[in-house]
Every structure is written in C-alpha cells, then in structure tokens.
C-alpha cells in the first residue's frame, strides 16, 4: 500500500502494533456502504469512467455477500478493513479497483465508517431504552397504589408507591434518550470527501455522498472532519450516564431481593445458585449490570485520554478509538436487555413493602404537616413536637398512629383526634397530590402521559 517510499517492510513488532483488522472488521458494512456512495459519486461526476464505476460497485456488492456469509478475513499485512476490502476488490476486478480510492483517504474513510457505526449504536440504544421505559410504565401502572417505604440515606423517610418509584427510572431513561438524541443530531454530518486533511482538487460532490449515506450535510472543515471523535465521546458520555442509571436500579433490586428486605423475587432465569449453598438465589444479572457500569465509564475515560492532547489532524493514536466504543456498546446493549427483562419478570412483595413502610415512622412528616395545617403552628415548632412524638412511640415499640391521643396531647395539647386520619401510610401517600407527587392518582396521570409518549396501547 505504501511500500514505494520504504526500502524494507515493517518489522514483526510494527506489523502487530499497526494492525487494526481484529477489531475494525466490525465496520465492514459501513465501509462498503461508504465506498458504494463514493464510487457512485465519482462515476456521476465523471471522475471515474462509468464502466469502471459499475465494475467497482459490483465487486463491492460481491465482497459484502462474502463477508456476510463467511466473515471478514484477518490478514494483518493488510492492516485494516479498508485495505482488506480494497485488496479483495483488486483480486476480483483487477487494477481498476485502484480507482476507488480517488479523492479520498483512509483518514476520511474511517471517520465516515466509524461515525455511521456510532450512529447505528445510538439508534439501537434509543430503541432499547424505549423498550425499557415501556416495561417500567407497565409495572408502574400495575403498582400505582402499592405502598412502600421511600428512603433517604437508605433510612425510612416517607411512604411512596412502587409505581412512583419505578416511574422515577422512566424519567431517567427519558433523559438518557435525550442525550443519545442530541448526540445523533450533532453527528449528522458526513466527513467523507475531506480526504487526508485538506480536501481534494477533484470536482467531487460531498453533498450527494452525504445524502446517500443518510447524513443531513457534509462536514464543513476538512481538518476537523478527520480529527473529530466528538461523536464517539458523545455516545460514550450518554452510555456512561445510562449505565449509571441502570446500576442504581440494579443495586435497588439487589437490596430488595435480599432476605432482610424481601420486597422482590427476581426471575429464576436471571439469577444463579451457589456451588456450595443450596438455598442461595443470587442476583448475578443485576450485579453484572452494576459492574458493567464501571467498564462503560472506563471506556469514556479511555477515549478522552486518547484524544486529550492530539494536534490536528489525524494521528495513529486514534486507531485506539474503536475498541472502547465497541466494548461499551456491547455492554450497554446487554445491560439494557437484562434490566428490561428483570423489571418485566420480578415479583414484587406488596405485603413486605407495606409492612416496612408502616414500621419506620414514615408518617412523621404527616404529623408535622397536620400541626402546621390544622394547628397553625410554624413548621420548625411542628418538627420539634413530632420528633418528641416519634421518640415516645419508639420507646414503647409502637407505630406512631398507635400512640394514645392522651399521650400525644401531653406532648402538645393542640393535637386532637383528627390527627389519626393523617397518620396511616395510605393517608400519607394519598395526601401527596402535588404535581409529580406519589399519590396514586398522580402516578396514574404520569403513567397515562408516558403511555401516550411511547405510543403504547391502553
């Protein structure tokens, strides 16, 4: 390929460190699509004779069929997917294959191929997130009124509903989709035609190539075109944030499935056993999702460090851009599939959730609110009164709504019998009717809006 400049071929070490075909063969569909668009443009512009353009297009189609059937061969002497395909094309149609590389470089070629691959990965992530949201909405609808303890600092805070809790992850997934959508909008420009770094003197039509490959427009600066990997970093940033959300949900499912909580029974087909303890049912799928998040964040850090000090335009360091993206995409796809299946298949123990909500003085804030609302007491004073009531209930080992009225009035005489209507977990949840609150009616409103947004049938 570049032997005319060199007296000797590369050493074995150079051959090994330079070859990217073991991983960039994943780009073969995009490489052939880009080559087809490029040669069609060369033929239309008269840069390559029509007969030669047709021969090249037919050869590329044959190679695509071969790769589809048998995979991409790995010849490290050919370095990468681009030269592997060009070499095979020459074997099929002869020297005319060399005309394909007119007015382009491997620099803009790989930038276009990789951008198209990342575009597909972003669309796949969005589709997987939509499926994940659909399952969350279905289960939230089912459990719109299922009471559970809400936590802060992993301590019982206030009663909420399971539906409300699940819809929190629906919102997170929506933000994840917006990030992938924004990344797709920014990467919607085609770098092909920028050549090595300076553009080309051939009368090419970059707009036609961009349109043929499904891009809105060509990139506007040839130096930036071959230097840019923002699209890959955008994908990894969105993937990392998404993985963090999945990891948080995985952690909650792990806790809920543990015997001390007992809130959930995870699906058998997403759990494993122990080699020594027959009673164990381990939440391994959830734990692996939690673990994968670290690898996905690591992929983002890896590419950021690769790109942080590179001058314009192309440097060979950028060959290392693809492995972290490929790994992150594979892990994210698997994590989304696992969490979608886990939410769909988990059995939630409403009885255990309710008992936990009732046991943790979760309605203490409702007592304080009642004192403010019915007694006209400033909230800070109401907070102090409520704290004394909780301390009394705790010392007697009883629930807050089981403390005798006389005992509550001994703490503050402004408390009357009406307070007990506010102290049950049902009353507490029902009272949270502010927009975005946990009241079952509010949860069902949010579920209905989500169903409409996702195009789900009732």
Q: Which residues belong to the active site? A: 153, 274
Q: Would you call 150 helix, strand, or coil by DSSP?
A: strand
Q: Would you call 348 helix, strand, or coil by DSSP?
A: strand
E strand or H helix at 88: helix 81-93
Alpha helices in 258-397 (DSSP H): 284-307, 322-345, 350-359, 364-375, 379-396
Q: If we measure between CA atoms, which residue out of 245, 341, 330 comes closest to residue 295? A: 330
Gap between the Cα atoms of 218 and 223, Å rounded = 13
Gap between the Cα atoms of 354 and 162, Å rounded = 10
Q: Are strands 155-161 and 147-152 parallel, antiparallel or unpaired?
A: antiparallel
Judge contact between 213 and 92, C-beta under 8 A.
no
Tokens of 252: 């909650």
The 10 Å Cβ neighbour count of residue 206 is 23
Gap between the Cα atoms of 92 and 202, Å rounded = 26
Maximum distance among all Cα pairs of the chain, rounded to whole angstroms = 101
The 10 Å Cβ neighbour count of residue 81 is 25
């Amino acid at each position: 390929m570049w032997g005319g400049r060199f007296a000797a071929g590369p050493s074995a070490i150079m051959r090994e460190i330079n070859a990217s075909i073991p991983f960039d063969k994943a780009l073969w569909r995009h490489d052939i699509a880009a080559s087809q668009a490029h040669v069609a443009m060369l033929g239309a512009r008269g840069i390559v004779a029509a007969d030669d353009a047709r021969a090249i297009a037919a050869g590329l189609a044959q190679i695509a069929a071969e790769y589809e059937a048998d995979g991409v061969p790995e010849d490290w002497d050919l370095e990468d997917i681009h030269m592997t395909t060009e070499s095979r094309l020459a074997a099929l149609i002869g020297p005319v294959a060399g005309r394909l590389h007119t007015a382009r470089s491997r620099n803009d070629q790989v930038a276009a191929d990789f951008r198209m691959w990342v575009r597909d990965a972003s669309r796949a992530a969005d589709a997987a997130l939509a499926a994940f949201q659909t399952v969350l909405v279905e289960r939230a609808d089912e459990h719109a009124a299922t009471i559970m303890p809400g936590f802060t600092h992993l301590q019982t805070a206030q009663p909420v509903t399971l539906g409300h809790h699940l819809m929190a992850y629906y919102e997170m997934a929506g933000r994840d989709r917006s990030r992938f959508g924004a990344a797709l909008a920014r990467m919607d420009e085609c770098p092909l035609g920028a050549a090595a770094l300076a553009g080309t003197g051939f009368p090419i039509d970059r707009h036609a190539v961009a349109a043929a490959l499904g891009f809105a427009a060509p990139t506007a600066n040839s130096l930036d075109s071959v230097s840019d990997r923002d699209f890959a970093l955008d994908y990894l940033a969105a993937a990392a944030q998404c993985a963090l959300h999945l990891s948080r949900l995985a952690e909650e499912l792990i806790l809920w499935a543990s015997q001390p909580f007992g809130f959930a029974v995870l699906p058998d087909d997403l759990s494993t056993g122990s080699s020594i303890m027959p009673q164990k049912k381990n939440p391994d799928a959830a734990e692996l999702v939690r673990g994968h998040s670290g690898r996905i964040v690591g992929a983002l850090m890896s590419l950021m460090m690769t790109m942080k000090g590179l001058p314009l335009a192309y440097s060979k360091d950028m060959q290392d851009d693809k492995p972290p993206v490929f790994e992150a995409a594979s892990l994210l796809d698997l994590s989304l599939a696992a969490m979608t299946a886990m939410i769909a298949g988990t059995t939630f123990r409403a009885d255990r959730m309710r008992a936990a909500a009732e046991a943790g003085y979760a309605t203490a804030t409702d007592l304080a609110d009642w004192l403010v609302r019915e007694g006209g007491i400033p909230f800070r004073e109401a907070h102090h009164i409520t704290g004394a009531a909780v301390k009394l209930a705790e010392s007697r080992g009883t629930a807050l709504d089981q403390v005798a009225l006389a005992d509550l009035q001994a703490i503050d005489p402004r408390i009357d019998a009406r307070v007990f209507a506010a102290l049950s977990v049902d009353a507490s949840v029902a009272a949270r009717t502010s927009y975005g609150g946990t009241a079952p009616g509010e949860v069902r409103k949010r579920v209905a809006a989500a169903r409409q947004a996702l195009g789900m049938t009732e």
